Amino acid sequence: MHYETVIGLEVHCELATKSKIFCGCSTKFGGAPNSHVCPGCAGFPGTLPVLNRSVVEYAVRAGLALNCDINRVNGFERKHYFYPDLPGAYQVTQFFAPVCVNGSVELANGKRVAIKQIHMEEDAGKLVHDSFEDATLADYNRGGMPLLEIVSQPDMRSAAEAVEYVEKLKAILEYTGVSDCKMQEGSLRVDVNLSVRPMGSEKLGVRTEMKNLNSMRSIARAVAFESARHVEVIEEGGQLVQETRRWDDDKGESFAMRGKENAQDYMYFPDPNLPPVMIGEEEIEAARASLPELPEAKKQRYVTELGLPEYDAGIITGSKHLMELFEATCRVEIFDAFDKTVAKEAANWIMGEVLNQLKATQTLPEDMSFDPKHLANLIRLVQGQQINRGTAKKVFAEVFAHNVHPEAYVKEHNLALVTDSGAIRDMIAKVVAENEKSVSEYKSGKEKALQFLIGQSMKALRGQAPAQEVKKILLEILAE
């Protein structure tokens, strides 16, 4: 029998506000344990929360960018559970009326993944299990950090769709500036809800949830593993249990953690210390006006205005950091803004050498540190035929790693092309004189002999002369 996988995702995204959601503590990543903590975010009785209005602003901006409706009146509820990373024994979140509802993200195949809702909430602290034997330590720096939880409908049908949805969502959130979305630092975490059903069936199967996946690769692997596990249990006549499972990325398997609590177990009720959140029309319009050009619109513009291939435009606009590198390179003053040939050339460099270097050095786009001016300078050196492409690639590796200035580097290492045709002619004449046998073979009609002579000439010029020029001069000398 054929099965269909049904996937819904809950994405937690840490907001880039300077202070926490209900107190003035810093949201800076890292810091000594419990150094970004006050009685409020440490859950002391008698403290009162005060909502950080920037969190609402950011939530509205994210909601608008994700095509959501904004709930003009929304509020906060307490979700009760006991766990040592949650000192107040409840998490302040939104349950009855979330800030944004009914959004969507469009995939490349035209499918719209519906976003059911986005709610604001506070993060929990962090438990450190392995610093001491027989002891677990609690670090509450993360407690009270502002989060958006973005809940999709179960609209995805494969690992590829799930990954594409997260990539698109991440790019949109990065563009709007609401979050840095660093998955490796936990500022974007994904819970995967998954079930399988016989192809063609309308009824949803039993659902399991895998929490806190923090890379695209682990999302893809977790979906593949878990859907195969579901099919296996069904085919063997077993019974799937609705539960939360832990994804172990090292083992490549999921493990049962605990049964899924029903909503009632949390005893949600409105937080009596937090008044309803009212959002005015002017606030919504201001947020709308503050939105930058979003990835999809930018991609279309790159295709129509700059003539970039759709694929390239998609890759570049798919990452805020690649997009910024591209635009900064094109904007460097030595070029006319967005000259089409420069744009194409810059795009080729990013699609080629930049991606190669990122992969080879396992660097994330946000960690690139070279000056876009240097990439522009390199493009100009190639366009002006001062260096050939092979040399340019080697120089770029130095730009990428050490932010060298290409022109200075080329000069220092004597990498410039020989453009003095007199010097080229002298060198080639010497090669012709030293290879009488090949010359006579060429004259008796052997094409291969010409290739050999071109090769020898290029070698004599250390590869630093324009190939066309070398061939032209060689033919002239041979015709004499």
DSSP conformation letters of 114-137: EEEEEEEEEPP-EEEEEEETTEEE
Long-range contacts of range 235-239, CB-CB < 8 Å, 24 or more positions apart? 235/1
Our CB check for Zn ion shows the closer of 6 and 41 to be 41
Asked whether the beta carbons of 230 and 194 are under 8 A apart, the reply is yes
Shortest approach of Zn ion to residue 324 CB, angstroms? 33
Q: Minimum CB separation from Zn ion for residue 41, in Å?
A: 3
Of 153, 145, 92, 90, the C-alpha closest to 117 is 153
One character per residue 6-45, x = contact with Zn ion (rule: CB under 5 A): -----------------x-x------------x-xx----
Q: b or e along 213-249 (b: 16 or more beta carbons within 10 Å of the residue's beta carbon)?
A: bbebebbbbbbebbbebbbeebeeeeeeeeebbebee
Q: How far is the CB of 396 from Zn ion (least distance, A)?
A: 46
Cα–Cα distances (Å) from 37 to 15, 49, 123, 157, in that order, read 17, 14, 13, 42
- Short-list 48, 90, 24, 91, CA closest to 273: 48
Residue 23 CB, nearest approach to Zn ion (Å) = 3
Q: Contact 125/141 with Cβ under 8 angstroms?
A: yes
Question: Of 38 and 355, which has the nearer Cβ to Zn ion?
Answer: 38
Strand partners, 254: 247
Give whichever of 88 and 103 is closer to Zn ion, judged by the CB atom: 88
Q: Tell me whether residue 41 or residue 381 sits nearer to Zn ion (CB atom).
A: 41
Report whether 231 contacts 225 (CB < 8 A): no
Q: Is 51 among the residues that bind Zn ion (CB under 5 A)?
A: no
The token duo for 244 is 């939360």
φ and ψ at residue 335, rounded to 5 degrees:
-110, 155
Which residues are CB-neighbours of 160 under 8 A, at least 6 positions away? 220
Output the smallest distance, CB 57 to Zn ion, in A. 20
CB of 120 to Zn ion, least distance (A): 16
Q: Find the length of the chain.
A: 480
Give the separation between CA 25 and CA 42, rounded to whole angstroms. 11
Q: How far is the CB of 398 from Zn ion (least distance, A)?
A: 46
Residue number with CB closer to Zn ion (88 or 98): 88
Q: Which of 51/477 has CB closer to Zn ion? A: 51
Smallest distance from Zn ion to CB 185, Å: 20
* Nearer CB in complex with Zn ion: 140/409: 140
C-beta closer to Zn ion: residue 87 or 177 = 87
User: Between 63 and 88, whose beta carbon lies closer to Zn ion?
Assistant: 88
> Which residues on neighbouring strands pair with residue 135, listed in sequence order?
132
Q: How far is the CB of 43 from Zn ion (least distance, A)?
A: 10
Burial class for 289, CB neighbours closer than 10 Å (0-12, 13-18, 19+): exposed
CB of 44 to Zn ion, least distance (A): 10
Q: Using the minimum distance from each CB to Zn ion, give the nearer residue, 52 or 152.
A: 52
Region label for 362, one of left (φ > 0), alpha (ψ between -120 and 50) or beta (otherwise) = left
Size of the site for Zn ion (CB under 5 A): 5
Task: Give the footprint of Zn ion on this chain (CB under 5 A).
Answer: 23, 25, 38, 40-41
